[in-house]
Amino acid sequence: MTRIILASTSPFRKMLLKNAGVHFETESADIDERAVEEAAGGSGVSPEDMATILAEAKANDVAARYPEALVIGADQTLSFREEILHKPADMDEARRRLLALSGKSHELNSAVVIARGDEVLWRHVSIARLTMRELSPEFVGRHLAEAGHEVLKSVGAYQLEGVGVQLFDKIEGDYFTIVGLPLLPLLAKLRELDAIHG
């Protein structure tokens, strides 16, 4: 069977692949995401393209070390008012992020790339549009106290698979895209490559 490596230590991406019955290993990519963004042109690049560039950088880094394996790289950007937002540095920034998103819509752009050796075999981006309900500062404070520091692992300062679901009025897009791995297109491509059973 083909060796599959997920170029990520994200517990959420690992859980999605594991639950889907895919046999894989994990290997952390050694890249500086902000340096990759800067080299790619920073704010001149669309959020979808930036997610793809970052996913590709991760896949290529690990594929260079394991040239015989199929390496899956993934990344996600959050776009809000023409700006790409990053994971909050601390709980105060998470609070400001949630208050900024309150009552408004934003997009999560989830990219996935498959590489082998020095070749990128496939790229895909899925987009989800999420609309937050109006949140009071008091609610945000209580919410962050309950959710804890886990929110700092998310670009939106929330985790939809937990109490973060209470922040939203409307969600357009699939769960896998929101968690950060467009699973159905990825599984279809892995079957096409004979890397998993069809």
Domain of 21: which CATH number?
A: 3.90.950.10
Write phi, then psi, for 49 (nearest 5 degrees): -65, -35
Q: What is the count of structural domains for the chain?
A: 1
Give me the mean pLDDT over the 11-15 stretch.
92
Domain annotation covers residue 146: yes
Domain annotation covers residue 198: no
Domain annotation covers residue 197: no
Domain annotation covers residue 110: yes
Cα–Cα distance measured from residue 73 to residue 29, given in angstroms and rounded to the nearest whole number? 9
The domain containing residue 10 runs over which residues? 4-192
pTM of the predicted protein model: 0.92
Q: Give the mean pLDDT of the chain.
A: 94
Identify whether 75 is a catalytic site residue: yes
Dump pLDDT digits (tens) for 102-128. 999 999 999 999 999 999 999 999 999
Domain annotation covers residue 66: yes
Domain annotation covers residue 79: yes
Domain annotation covers residue 48: yes
Percent of the chain with pLDDT over 90: 82
Dump pLDDT digits (tens) for 16-51. 999 999 999 999 999 988 888 888 876 678 999 999
32, 61, 75, 169: the active-site residue: 75
Task: Give the pLDDT of residue 42.
Answer: 64
